[in-house]
Amino acid sequence: MTSDGLGLDTEVISALETADVRFPTSAQLDGSDAMNPEPDYSAAYVVLRTSSGGVGYGLAFTVGRGNDVQVAAIEALAPLVVGLPVAEVLGDLGAFSRRLTGDSQLRWLGPHKGVIHMAAGAVVNAMWDLYGRRAGKPVWQLLSDLTPRQLVDLVDFRYLSDALTADEALDILERAREGRGARRDELLRNGYPAYTTTPGWLGYSDDKLVTLAREAVADGFHHIKLKVGADRDADVWRMRIAREAVGPDVRIAVDANQAWGVQEAIDWMRLLAPYDPYWIEEPTSPDDVLGHAAIRQGVAPVRVATGEHTHNAVMFKQLLQAGAIDILQLDATRVAGVTENVAILLLAAKFGIPVCPHAGGVGLCEMVQHLAMFDYVAVSASTQDRVVEYVDHLHEHFVDPATIARGRYIAPRLPGLSAQLKPASVEAYRFPDGPRWADTDPAAIP
Amino acid sequence: MTSDGLGLDTEVISALETADVRFPTSAQLDGSDAMNPEPDYSAAYVVLRTSSGGVGYGLAFTVGRGNDVQVAAIEALAPLVVGLPVAEVLGDLGAFSRRLTGDSQLRWLGPHKGVIHMAAGAVVNAMWDLYGRRAGKPVWQLLSDLTPRQLVDLVDFRYLSDALTADEALDILERAREGRGARRDELLRNGYPAYTTTPGWLGYSDDKLVTLAREAVADGFHHIKLKVGADRDADVWRMRIAREAVGPDVRIAVDANQAWGVQEAIDWMRLLAPYDPYWIEEPTSPDDVLGHAAIRQGVAPVRVATGEHTHNAVMFKQLLQAGAIDILQLDATRVAGVTENVAILLLAAKFGIPVCPHAGGVGLCEMVQHLAMFDYVAVSASTQDRVVEYVDHLHEHFVDPATIARGRYIAPRLPGLSAQLKPASVEAYRFPDGPRWADTDPAAIP
């Protein structure tokens, strides 16, 4: 499309490849909660290739059926991406993101929400992965090494400036400049705090819950999470045995996965309050900003957390403006990727709300760790009351898997965003024709 | 799946067929606005068929690229629909809607937003169309003839009851029972008031704007609409010549199609205020409930209107709770169809906010007229300050087109929801293989 003046073609994005990858997790009830009884954790996987052999990997996470729709949405973005000069894209990743989310026809499918927005997230993340590989840095470090001005230029302030102006964002980042190096070194030494959801899925027996909760504490976690919202009496019982298992000093968060109405959430949480829940996560519809604000009033001092289904920065802005949340749980692929998450981290810093990213699924631990570590080094400059979710499954499918030691994420050192699946895993779990699915009785697929 | 005891199979939904239908409207700049410069109005079309030869038609409206993704989302719902007994579905359309919007895997793609939610809307509307055909009634009349209890049973109150309880909804409907017959007769005689957007697209010349505005008034419209938001000076000029063309007694609404930030909207509207705009529509992000509330404070007495991108009843609930809107503009296919729109009409009635549906596009005039007429007969019982948008294009492709006389929609009398496209139109405009597209130079497709 352009020339470098030497008669050689300038490097362009030459291909956007996709794959529908699904893991049959419903067979074990890993990941079961009040709204997701039988998830098959899946990735709408994207590989960007350049004309010079560069590559970047990204994905959108889904829970099974519909992953093909998510793949179709990513493919709909290909004409906006293939052919673009790589240097131009990397020189203005804010413009790249606006290109993907602002297309005058495709935006009707959102705007800025649902599969078309998650598709933009997958592609934007693949571009950040490519950028990290090219720079020879993990993305958390790449972001931390950008100047405050470069970071602010990533953000689209059109719908945000009533809560956060570019100058305010610049101030936040300038203040965090002091100590960046020391925090980076500390992170490389000690990692970033994690909490674990592994004990708490609804499908588990009491014995399994207690055993896994004790193991989590023995493994160094100070914070675990239980799924709630399907049955009141069972929730009270599980919260009680979990509290007895871990003692008073371990934080136990609970997660209703949107099961309740506003008053129902308040009433239900009163029953759990004697066992000191640390936060209630997704008590109601993720769209209900005012509902979360009412619940927060009603359940204090229990904290309110949400974010994994919060579909864009405008929604996070309002959750913060309305005083609706104590904890902001950004997600790597619900929004338009790393670029929109920079805006979300800045909003959280402006309002002084800790960010505790949502993870689990497929590749979410791998990706969000970069965002939390960037936040620590260059934005909020704190790990106080901040933890990244950790769920111990499916990491074996990643080339650069998230790694936990003594309840902390070890900082990734390989270049990129850690989103690359092993080629053998993509082939084995490709839906519906990969061997792990082709050999399965279709009637057994829920 | 079930038997009627006579040895005959019970009637089931036997097929869900789709079509990607696109009209090349971008060639004429019909439909151009600040965010949609070159729309190709499109329908992700759905046909439900039953084992006894019954049929229902629905569609989701999009503006071109991505209509294939919308079709893929509708097809993802087929396994939830095909095989269901028709009598069971028609006996509990609330449950049918929850089935489509609550699938434990597909809901991750929303939840309750974007293409997966619009897909549910298309299928739910097709089922209402089938219901109307079976009952021999247009859907506005079918709805109006349901009892208050039957209507309330359609609504999922889980996330709404902090603003509207089932008992309150029942009260609203019981109060509206008086006079239903008289209002129905009046509607059949006089139709329902409309306003027209035909003069106001951004792509039109001054002469065309003035001529069309005068024609609209001559045709009996008391309310027109202009698109704004691309250029301040041009907007002031166009508002001024439009006001001069129609005089002081015709309402002129303006529509920014989300072009502005919060303060920008307030500032821009101050420049237009001298020409007495009736409402400002979509001043900012459709997700920004609190932003709309701030804009409403800032631009009063100009009214604030939004809704065509408001993705579900939870968002409308908050717009009403926050006092963010003066006018609620529901859409036929953005939300989960007729069933969710019953909830939205009840919310609006509870808060005393007039509903002025969004229309235009493909088939939106045809479908929303049923909702407005039902609202008049059986919910709000008023047409005061209520108008349905009318845009005069693409109606020729419908079997039962929306019809206007003296600025009013004539009440549909044919059974169903009026969403059926002519078979010849589906064939001609099928993308990309229909003759109207196959004969087009691909480079000319924007």
pLDDT tens per residue, range A310-350: 999 999 999 999 999 999 999 999 999 999 999 999 999 99
Q: What residue of B is the nearest CA neighbor of A33? A: B104
Give B171-421's CATH code, choosing from 3.20.20.120, 3.40.50.970, 1.10.3720.10, 3.40.50.150: 3.20.20.120
Angle value at C-alpha A230, between A225 and A233, nearest 5 degrees: 90
Between CA B50 and CA B370 the distance in angstroms is 24
Domain residue spans in chain B? 171-421
CB contact under 8 A, A261 and B157: yes
A323 at interface of B, judged by CB pairs closer than 8 A: no
Task: Give strand pairing partners of A200.
Answer: A226
CB contact under 8 A, B286 and A321: no
Q: Chain A contacts of B38, Cβ < 8 Å?
A: 104-105
Q: How confident is the model at residue A30 (pLDDT cuts 50, 70, 90)?
A: low
Q: Chain A contacts of B118, Cβ < 8 Å?
A: 109
CA distance A38 to chain B (A): 7
Residue of A311, A318, A264 lying closest to A289 (CA atoms): A318
What number of C-beta contacts closer than 8 Å exist between A and B? 190
CA distance A247 to chain B (A): 34
Residue A389 confidence (pLDDT) above 70: yes
CB contact under 8 A, B287 and A321: no
Residue A2 confidence (pLDDT) above 50: no
CB contact under 8 A, B104 and A62: no
CB contact under 8 A, A317 and B289: no
Q: Enumerate the active-site residues of B.
A: 227, 358
Q: What residue of A is the nearest CA neighbor of B73? A: A69
Neighbouring residues of A76: CB distance < 8 A, sequence distance ≥ 6: A106, A116, A119, B65, B66, B68, B69
Task: Give strand pairing partners of B134.
Answer: none
* pLDDT (average), residues A88-92: 97
Residue A446 confidence (pLDDT) above 80: no
Give the ranges where B386-432 is alpha helix by DSSP (H).
Answer: 423-429
A 243-282: CB under 8 A from B: 258, 260-263
B317 at interface of A, judged by CB pairs closer than 8 A: yes
Q: Chain B contacts of A309, Cβ < 8 Å?
A: 111
Between CA B364 and CA B357 the distance in angstroms is 9
* DSSP labels, B228-265: --S-HHHHHHHHHHHHHHH-TTSEEEEE-TT---HHHH
What CATH number belongs to A171-425? Answer: 3.20.20.120
Residue A3 confidence (pLDDT) above 50: no
What percent of chain A is modeled with pLDDT above 90? 90
Q: How confident is the model at residue A33 (pLDDT cuts 50, 70, 90)?
A: confident
Cis amide leading into B301 (omega within 30): yes
What percent of chain A is modeled with pLDDT above 70? 96
Residue of A393, A312, A432 lying closest to A65 (CA atoms): A432
What confidence score (pLDDT) does residue A441 get? Answer: 63
Task: Give strand pairing partners of B47.
Answer: B17, B57
What confidence score (pLDDT) does residue A442 get? Answer: 57
Q: Chain A contacts of B76, Cβ < 8 Å?
A: 65-66, 68-69
Residue of B63, B107, B159 lying closest to A105 (CB–CB) = B63
B 107-136: CB under 8 A from A: 107-118
Between CA B364 and CA B360 the distance in angstroms is 6
Would you call A338 helix, strand, or coil by DSSP?
Answer: helix
Which amino acid is present at B132?
G
A40 at interface of B, judged by CB pairs closer than 8 A: yes
Q: What residue of A is the nearest CA neighbor of B319? A: A290
A227 is catalytic: yes
What confidence score (pLDDT) does residue B442 get? Answer: 57
Between CA B292 and CA B119 the distance in angstroms is 27
A105 at interface of B, judged by CB pairs closer than 8 A: yes
| Residue of A112, A115, A257, A334 best to disrupt the B interface, most CBs of B under 10 A | A115
